[in-house]
Structure 1
């Protein structure tokens, strides 16, 4: 997994199997690191240059939780976007995959062909 670019997925810590992005990211050639919202800054500090950061809001988040994710997105975009690292917000898997494919399409590293 060291040879794959990593995507940081930040969620609220309540992971549902049908909303996991890890399998889809692996198919795109990325390794995923999933962290709860509260640990996002610490995990990001240990991740050198992620390919992207995906903020995965719960589907049924209330306004307060949505606002927390939006504020984090704004802060991360101001620090990461100048370096070319996209910060995406999603509320579901299908939307996240489409956004990731659009943002990272040409950058995907699926590993060497054998």
Structure 2
């Protein structure tokens, strides 16, 4: 079994090779699972404890699509809040990786010593 922590990446389903987070996440030590917006809940049910959820909103999304992503983020933050799983919204690769790294660093620093 893959012991790397998993990050769920939710996007619009339209993927450009230069827009993939998987290489950056792998370089940070994370396995990623990318799913289109419509399948996010189903895939999240298969990954019960993701290290983070990244909502990769299209850069040129119209208001309706932005609202869908914001509503999903709000719901996921509520549902995953108790576990401390960060939910990050981004429109670009480098921004997502930086935000994810910052969020996970804070989470690790705040974890109790075992």
State the TM-score, normalized to the length of structure 2. 0.90
Q: Distance in 2 between matches of 1:30 and 1:75?
A: 24
Runs of 4+ in 1 over 6 A off after TM superposition: none
Q: Secondary structure at the match of 1:40?
A: helix
Q: Distance in 2 between matches of 1:49 and 1:101?
A: 17
Unaligned runs of 5+ in 2: 109-114
Q: Distance in 1 between matches of 2:71 and 2:48?
A: 22
For residues 1-114 of structure 1, the aligned pairs below 5 Å read 2-105=2-105
Deviation, 1:81, is 1.6
Count of residue correspondences: 108
Q: Secondary structure at the match of 1:33?
A: strand
Unaligned runs of 5+ in 1: 109-114
Deviations 1:67-93 (A, max 9, x none): 000000000000102211000000001
Q: Secondary structure at the match of 1:102?
A: helix
Q: CA RMSD in A?
A: 1.4
Q: Distance in 1 between matches of 2:77 and 2:5?
A: 19
